[in-house]
Amino acid sequence: MIELEAALAANLADAHPDVQRVLIDTLSVMAQACARIGEIASQGMLAQAHGWAGTHNSQGEQQKRLDLLADDCMRDALTACPHVAGWASEELENAQASPHHGQTGPLLVVYDPLDGSSNIEANISIGTIFSILPHRYRGANPGDADFMQPGHQQVAAGYVLYGPATLMVLTCRRGVLVFTLDKRAGMESARWVLTQDQVSIPIATREFAINASNQRFWEKPIQRYIAECVAGENGPRMKDFNMRWVASMVAEVHRIMTRGGVFLYPRDTREPIKPGRLRLMYEAAPMALLVQEAGGRAVNGTSELLDLIPDVLHQKVPVILGSKDEIDRIVNYHADPHENVSWQLFKTRSLFVQPQA
């Protein structure tokens, strides 16, 4: 089996030697930080990682203890990495310049230290999401504006899933690789081993993931799409679909990586001034790059997620991603926004009532 550095070297073999070494070193440092996060998460209350921290992030959201522990692990690793000029975290209001390499490091890192925080005490899969961007103005410490690059500028992106196995799913824009953390010799000797090469998302699917409790707030294109899926064999799609919802983006996307599917967190009318619920830089853009590299598609409903340029560091956007055929269909529905919902369950009935009942 191939370990992380050797696998990355092979994957980046056609890259310039300087680019290759910088990426390998940076991703290796981040992978070890995620291994530490996974170990803390696995200990739960034994590591005093459960419960609220009594603090709030810059968006006013309450922070969990594990949120802060994970952020500390990642920040310490990036501080020590000579290739990283600065970083932006979902838990911090502003971007941070490296105290040692702010002017010389060629890379910037964006990360969500702990995705799925609401699942911590329930012992459901959680994860870390990260993105690596070029530091375009070397010679000066990076500020917030330096991180506001469109997703297609990402050098690499990935996530780590802390589940029954600890997995890192990674792209350096040359396909998608999956590594498994091998802890059989103990954490001191833990190593990341390549366990899947060139992940491919099936273009067709019969599975979707959406938070059905927001049904009454969805816009017409999403109402139409979900209604048709729920109608099953008796509806216009003439096939049955399954619905999933874990409330952890890492877990939702990983399911799509393994067997296809669609993940939707669309724009809704609950709070019209808020265009979306997921953060563009910390969640949407890195996941969009991974999905695209695996043969899927990622949009906000009308535009490709990788084309969006952030206006602010913590900008939120609608996210719809997964198997290409289904995403193409949803985009087409958005192109015809005046189409009425044809199934009665979206008038007065529950999502789970068959429309012909």
Please state, in angstroms and rounded to a whole number, the distance separating the CA atoms of residues 69 and 40: 8
Residue 46, SS3 per DSSP? helix
CATH of the domain at 95: 3.30.540.10
Please state, in angstroms and rounded to a whole number, the distance separating the CA atoms of residues 16 and 184: 35
Please answer whether residues 166 and 155 qualify as being in contact, where contact means their C-beta atoms are separated by less than 8 angstroms.
no
Please state, in angstroms and rounded to a whole number, the distance separating the CA atoms of residues 273 and 268: 10
Handedness of CA 227, 228, 229, 232 (dihedral sign): positive
Based on the fold, state whether residues 44 and 124 are members of the same structural domain.
Answer: yes
**Looking at the domain assignment, is residue 160 inside a domain?**
yes
Domain boundaries, position 184: 4-196
Based on the fold, state whether residues 246 and 322 are members of the same structural domain.
Answer: yes
Query: Which residues are paired to 176 by β-bridges?
Result: 171
- Last residue of some domain: 173, 196, 219? 196
Based on the fold, state whether residues 134 and 260 are members of the same structural domain.
Answer: no
Show the low-confidence residues of the chain (pLDDT under 70). 337-357
- Do strands 126-134 and 62-64 pair parallel, antiparallel, or not at all (unpaired)? unpaired
Based on the fold, state whether residues 289 and 237 are members of the same structural domain.
Answer: yes
- Last residue of some domain: 133, 165, 196? 196
Please answer whether residues 129 and 112 qualify as being in contact, where contact means their C-beta atoms are separated by less than 8 angstroms.
yes
Q: What pLDDT, on the 0 to 100 scale, is given for residue 345?
A: 42
Q: What pLDDT, on the 0 to 100 scale, is given for residue 356?
A: 38
Based on the fold, state whether residues 177 and 282 are members of the same structural domain.
Answer: no
Q: What pLDDT, on the 0 to 100 scale, is given for residue 339?
A: 60
**Looking at the domain assignment, is residue 351 inside a domain?**
no
Q: What pLDDT, on the 0 to 100 scale, is given for residue 349?
A: 42
Query: Which residues are paired to 170 by β-bridges?
Result: 158, 177
**How many separate domains does the chain show?**
2
Give backbone dihedrals phi and psi of 73, rounded to 5 degrees, phi first: -60, -45
Q: What is the pLDDT of residues 271-302, one digit of tens each?
A: 888 889 999 999 999 999 999 999 999 999 99
Nearest to 240 by CA among 204, 203, 202, 206: 206
